[in-house]
Amino acid sequence: MSEETKRPAEETPEEPKEVPQEEAPPAEEAPETAEKTEKAPKGRKKKEKTYTLTREQMEAAELAAKQLESVKDQFVRLTAEYDNYRKRTAKEKDSLYQDAKADTIREFLAVYDNLERAVSTEGDEDSPHKKGLEMIFHQYQEILKKLGVTEIEAQGAPFDPEKHNAVMHIDDENFGENVVSQVFQAGFMLGDKVIRHAIVQVAN
């Protein structure tokens, strides 16, 4: 064989170089995986866990329930006691105020007595002095009414030891039995409380 014939056999063909393929970024496959994970088969329910309590745990739970009930009862009692205390305190404050008010008014009743006697004195009814006294007396009566003070009914009324103070007793056919025949000094009440008894004369 000639040299030209041998050369092609001796020359080995070059192997084709492999071109590296670009790998797809793994980030693109992540959403598909997540979607598959989210799509769980419907109809499956999670099994609820059950717990078994021991005898000691049951006794402890019962004891805790009893203690809670006891605390509730104590709370209800304390609430009721506080409410009663609040009402009692408010009543005591009002009572103290009424007592102080009655004591003050009682001191001014002497002025009422003097005005009443001055108005009742016989004299010229048309005199400016007499009319002035009458105006002052009526004004004084209105002030007492605004303060809640009322005059005790006495003249011709049945004798009431709770409101009247009898200093004289007479026999008179013109009056019924145990009836007030004359009032020497007017009595007064503040609300339902007597601040001064009426001094009276009782018949029969």
**Which CATH number is 186's domain given?**
2.30.22.10
Query: Dihedral, CA atoms, 48, 54, 59, 61, nearest 10 degrees?
Result: -20
Question: Both 128 and 84 in a single domain?
Answer: yes
Question: Both 177 and 128 in a single domain?
Answer: no
In a domain, 5, yes or no: no
Question: Both 94 and 176 in a single domain?
Answer: no
Total domains, the chain:
2
Question: Both 157 and 204 in a single domain?
Answer: yes
Angstrom distances, CA of residue 60 to CA of 49, 70, 72, 144: 22, 15, 18, 70
Whichever domain contains 87, its CATH number is: 3.90.20.20
Range of the domain at 80: 55-147
Question: Both 109 and 136 in a single domain?
Answer: yes
In a domain, 105, yes or no: yes
Question: Both 138 and 157 in a single domain?
Answer: no
Residue-level pLDDT at 44: 57
Please name the residues in contact with 188: beta carbons below 8 A apart, sequence gap of 6 or more: 105, 109, 144, 149, 150, 151, 152, 194, 195, 196
In a domain, 7, yes or no: no
pLDDT in tens, 21-68: 545 455 444 444 444 445 555 555 566 666 677 888 888 888 899 899
In a domain, 4, yes or no: no
Question: Both 128 and 158 in a single domain?
Answer: no
Question: Both 157 and 140 in a single domain?
Answer: no
Question: Both 73 and 135 in a single domain?
Answer: yes
In a domain, 187, yes or no: yes
What's the mean pLDDT in 148-158? 95
In a domain, 166, yes or no: yes
In a domain, 112, yes or no: yes
| Residue 194 pLDDT > 60 | yes
Question: Which is it for the CA torsion 169, 173, 178, 182, positive or negative?
Answer: negative
Residue-level pLDDT at 121: 86
Q: Quote the percentage of the chain above a pLDDT of 70.
A: 75
Specify the DSSP element, H or E, that contains 66.
helix 55-120
Is the pTM higher than 0.85? Answer: no
Residue-level pLDDT at 167: 96
